[in-house]
Amino acid sequence: MKIIWSELAVAKLEEFADYIALDKPTAALKWIKDIQKIVSNISNFPEAGRKVPEINRGDLREIIEGNYRIIYKIEPQ
């Protein structure tokens, strides 16, 4: 499975990391690496996340990491 980041997802990742970096730059770098690791694992286990409750579609999943929610869509091919 191939992971494709949306422009919005990349922008939000940068926005949150910038905010975290205001207090702790090293924590921001660790947070980015943690998120990237979680996302890379999705390619191996795409159905590991739960269905997004407010949408309840099998192709839309989410993984909660701390106070953040990673939402992704599973598409054939």
Domain ranges for the chain, please list them: 7-73
Under DSSP, is residue 76 helix (H, G, I), strand (E, B) or coil?
A: coil
**Closest Cα partner for 49 from 17, 73, 15?**
73
Q: Residue 1: what pLDDT?
A: 76
Model confidence band, residue 62 (pLDDT cutoffs 50, 70, 90): very high
Question: What confidence tens digit (pLDDT) does each residue in 7-31 have?
Answer: 999 999 999 999 999 999 999 999 9
Question: What confidence tens digit (pLDDT) does each residue in 31-55 have?
Answer: 999 999 999 999 889 999 999 999 9
**Closest Cα partner for 13 from 34, 43, 44, 41?**
34
User: Measured between alpha carbons, how far is 26 from 3 in angstroms, rounded to an integer?
Assistant: 26
Q: Residue 30: what pLDDT?
A: 96
